[in-house]
């Protein structure tokens, strides 16, 4: 496939208008599919404009995130993360995405099907739930259908393999007032575990993506866009045809003086789904690179190294 891509300013990450996939002609829809395929094969990241989520909701979500993380630690700890559900509050420096480096300079709040909700802020549950609903029932399924078409699969191939294991993470990177430990970052170098991730980020900056030639490039804030990236499950399914790209959040000098907020929706396959190389992505000259594995087994191995 081929497609013409628009690059974000100050970045090599392409911007794709997603509206024609839902509302355009067959030719326009196919063009979006081709753009997504090229972006995910060559970079593993892309910005989606016109995802279907309103600017108003995106703005309110970031406000609610800030208000939650501003709460006293004792209130946040009342909804501490449960290892069984992976939902709840994760305290500052309680997680490291790069197991070889110091603990990450961040705190988080996880939301899933079995969500654990704080009593404050007052509108928190309503706003976060609506964003979660729109991402999991509208945006993510459509993106996965675009992936299926690009991979010459039935459009609904991924439909029944997702829907029960979506996790939303609200992330806060507090101002860095002291010199970090050697190698310490706001979020260590890592790849995401699932099929795709949808990310909303503020304008503070710091997210970096590693290109295939090993160069780290900025993934800047693009107003009203969702940043989408490929995860490990999709890379395994496609036999490395689509790239689960390492990324990190650094501690740039000016940005480190400000809080940074982002919200990530991790679209993981259902726990009982076997992730095995797609027939269309392997042949005699290109055998399967990964053995089949259940989603639950893969996620448990990754979480054990993270927390």
Q: Is the pLDDT of residue 273 over 60?
A: yes
Arithmetic mean of pLDDT, 264-285: 94
Vertex 103 angle, CA 79 and 127, to 5°: 35
Q: Cα separation of 39 and 21, whole Å? A: 16
Residue keyed to tokens 């790239």? 243
Which band of pLDDT confidence, cut at 50, 70 and 90, is reported for residue 183? confident
The reported pLDDT for the residue numbered 5 is 54
Degrees, nearest 5: CA angle 84-245-131: 50
Closest CA to 237 of 194, 198, 301: 194
Q: Which ranges of the chain would DSSP assign to H, the alpha helix? A: 19-23, 26-42, 55-69, 73-77, 124-134, 140-150, 232-237, 295-306
Q: pLDDT value at position 151?
A: 96
Length of the chain: 307
The pLDDT score that the predictor gives to residue 307 is 64
Query: What distance in Å separates the CA atoms of residue 104 and residue 1, rounded to the nearest whole number?
Result: 39
Topology at the third CATH level for domain 6-306: Jelly Rolls (2.60.120)
pLDDT at residue 9 tops 60: no
Residue 254's pLDDT is: 67
Say if CB 113 and CB 168 are below 8 A apart.
no
Average pLDDT taken over every residue of the chain = 91
For 95, list phi and psi in degrees, rounded to 5: -145, 145
pTM (whole model) above 0.95? no
pLDDT on residue 4: 46
Spell out the domain ranges in the chain.
6-306
């Amino acid at each position: 496939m081929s497609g013409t891509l628009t690059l974000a300013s100050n970045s090599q990450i392409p911007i794709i208008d997603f509206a024609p996939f839902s509302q355009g002609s067959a030719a326009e829809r196919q063009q979006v599919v081709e753009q997504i395929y090229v972006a995910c094969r060559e970079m593993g990241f892309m910005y989606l404009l016109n995802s279907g989520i309103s600017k108003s909701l995106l703005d309110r979500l970031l406000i609610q995130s800030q208000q939650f993380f501003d709460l006293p630690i004792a209130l946040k700890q009342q909804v501490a993360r449960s290892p069984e559900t992976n939902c709840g509050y994760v305290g500052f420096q309680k997680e490291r995405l790069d197991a070889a480096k110091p603990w990450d300079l961040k705190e988080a709040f996880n939301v899933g099907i079995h969500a654990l909700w704080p009593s404050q802020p007052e509108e928190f549950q309503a706003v976060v739930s609506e964003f979660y609903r729109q991402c999991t029932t509208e945006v993510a399924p459509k993106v996965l259908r675009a992936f299926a078409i690009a991979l010459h699969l039935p459009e609904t191939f991924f439909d029944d393999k997702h829907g029960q294991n979506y996790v939303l993470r609200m992330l806060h990177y507090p101002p860095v007032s002291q010199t970090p430990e050697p190698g310490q970052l706001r979020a260590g170098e890592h790849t995401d575990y699932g099929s795709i991730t949808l990310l909303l980020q503020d304008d503070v900056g710091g997210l970096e993506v590693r290109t295939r030639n090993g160069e780290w490039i900025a993934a800047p804030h693009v107003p009203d866009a969702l940043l989408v990236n490929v995860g490990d499950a999709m890379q395994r399914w496609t036999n490395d045809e689509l790239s689960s790209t390492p990324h990190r959040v650094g501690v740039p000098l000016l940005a480190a003086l400000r809080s940074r907020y982002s919200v990530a929706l991790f679209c993981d396959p259902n726990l009982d789904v076997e992730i095995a190389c797609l027939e269309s992505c392997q042949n005699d000259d290109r055998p399967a690179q990964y053995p089949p594995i259940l989603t639950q087994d893969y996620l448990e191995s990754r979480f054990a190294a993270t927390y």
